[in-house]
Amino acid sequence: MVRTGLDVLFSHRRNVLSGKRIALLANPSSIDSEYRFVVDRFVAEKSWNVVALWGPEHGLRGEMQDQEYCDAFHDPKTGLPVYSLYGKQLKPSADMIRDIDVVVFDMQDVGSRYYTFIYTLSYVMEACQEHHKEVVVLDRPNPINGVDMEGPVLESGYESFVGRYPIPIRHGMTIGELAFYFHHEIGLKCRLEVIEMEGWNRPMYFEDTGLPWVLPSPNMPGVDTAVVYPGMCLFEGTNVSEGRGTTRPFEIFGAPWIDPEKLCTALDRFRLPGVRFRASYFRPTFNKFHQVLCGGSQIHVTDRRTFQPVKAALSMLHVLLRDYPNDFRWKDPPYEFVTDRLPFDILCGNSWIREDLEKGIAPDEIERKWQAGLKAFREIRQRNLLY
C-alpha cells in the first residue's frame, strides 16, 4: 500500500514541524490511510503549533460549489481562524503570513492543468518567498498515473487561475513534483520541502494505491471522473453541459438541442481507443440547463491505458460544431477572474485550437500541432520528477 506524505510525516518526519507556527492548507481529501482528517491530526499533535487554517477553492471542508467565494471565518470545531484563498484573494496576504513560520500544503490533485489547487500552491510559494517563510508539501499520488501526458502546453498571454504556467493539460506529475517545477523552472524560490510518498510507482492509477478516495471537489466524485476530466473540463468553455448537476459530472455531457443517437453514431466513426459513447438523456439539478431535459452521451472508458481524454473531447467538439452550427456556442467571459478572453481559450491555453475547430480541422491534425511543445515540456519535467 502507498503511504502518502501525510502518513510519512507522522511516521518518522514529525521533527520537520516541531516548534514552528503552522498554517495548514487543506480540504476534505486531506486524510491519512486510516481516514483521519489532517486538521484533527495536526491539532492533536502537542509538539506543533497550528495557528491558522487556509482553504482553497471549494473551502476547507469542501462545502462550496465551483467558483463560489468564501470569506474568512473561525472553524467551529477547532476555534482556529480559517482564511480563503479563492475569491477576494488568491495569494496569502502579509497579514495572513506574518505570524507563521511554515505553510503545510496537503491536498489531492487530479492530474489536469485546470485544477486550481496547484495554482493555490504556487501563490503560497510566491508569498512565502516574499516573506521568507517555509513551505512543506505532503505529496499525494497523481490519480490518473504519473506517466501519460496529453494536450497543448499553455502559451504566453493565456495565463489564468486554471493555468498559470507552461504545462500541458495532462501533466503526469504529482503535486510535490509540481512544487519542484514551480521552484526550479518558474523561480518561486521559497524554502521548500516535499515529504515524499512511499511505495508509489508512476504507472499507478489511484485504485492501485490502496488509499481511500475522498472527492477533492464537489464534482470530482471518483477516479473515473478524473480520467475524463482532462478533456471534458473544456466543455466549461461552451454552452454544452459538462454534466454538473448529475451524478456523473464530466462523464455525461449534452444539451437540449442534441440528438443523442445521432451524436453517438458520429462519435463512433472516429474509432477512438479505449472509450465507448452511449446515448443518454439527463436533467441537471443545477448549473447549465437547470431542470431542462438534455440529450447527449455518457462516456464509458473501457481501457484507461489507451484512452486519450483531450483528443476525445476535441472529437466531440468537432461533431457539435459541424452538426449543430446554429446551436453550439463558446461561452462568454468572465471565467475564473478573466474578463478579456474566451473561457475555452483560457482552458486550452491558446486560441488556435478553437480556431482550428471552427475551420473544421480534424482532431488528428490538431493533436499533431501540440506534439513539439509536449516534447519540449517532457525534458523540463524530467528534471523535476521525484519517483
> Which tens digits make up the pLDDT trace of 223-238?
999 999 999 999 999 9
* Predicted confidence band of residue 63 (pLDDT cuts 50, 70, 90): low
Amino acid identity, position 42: F
3-state SS class at 124:
helix
Tell me which residue of 43, 13, 12 sits closest to 26, measured CA to CA: 43
pLDDT in tens, 5-22: 999 999 999 999 999 999
Mean pLDDT score, 96-114: 97
The CATH topology of domain 223-350 is Aspartate Aminotransferase, domain 1 (3.90.1150)
Residue 88 has a CB neighbour count (10 Å cut-off) of: 11
Mean pLDDT score, 31-45: 96
Residue 362 has a CB neighbour count (10 Å cut-off) of: 14
- Checking if the pLDDT of 385 tops 80, the result is yes
Q: How far apart are alpha carbons 212 and 33 in whole angstroms? A: 7
Distances in whole angstroms, Cα of residue 117 to Cα of each of 79, 87, 280, 297: 24, 13, 32, 29
Which residues, including other chains, have CB under 8 Å from residue 235's CB and lie 6 or more apart?
241, 242, 250, 253, 313
**pLDDT, mean over the chain:** 96
Question: Do you find a cis peptide bond into 249, omega within 30 degrees of 0?
Answer: no
* Predicted confidence band of residue 284 (pLDDT cuts 50, 70, 90): very high
Tell me which residue of 180, 136, 143, 142 sits closest to 42, measured CA to CA: 136
Residue with cell 452521451: 297
Domains 5-212 and 223-350 share a fold: no
- Checking if the pLDDT of 71 tops 80, the result is no
* Assigned architecture for domain 5-212: 3-Layer(aba) Sandwich (3.40)
Q: What percent of the chain has pLDDT over 70?
A: 97
Q: Where are the domains of the chain?
A: 5-212, 223-350
Cβ proximity of 154 and 349 under 8 Å: yes
> Exposure pattern of 109-133 as b/e (b: 16+ CB <10 Å)?
bbbbbbbbbbbbbbbbbbbbbeeeb
Q: Which helix (H) or strand (E) holds 227?
A: helix 223-232
Cα torsion through 111, 116, 122, 125, rounded to 10: -110
Mean pLDDT score, 102-107: 98
pLDDT in tens, 197-214: 999 999 999 999 999 999
Give the per-residue pLDDT at 87.
Answer: 83
Q: How far apart are alpha carbons 284 and 170 in whole angstroms? A: 27
Mean pLDDT score, 190-200: 98
Cβ proximity of 249 and 219 under 8 Å: yes
Distances in whole angstroms, Cα of residue 380 to Cα of each of 197, 242, 370, 385: 22, 32, 16, 10
Mean pLDDT score, 184-191: 98
Mean pLDDT score, 259-269: 98
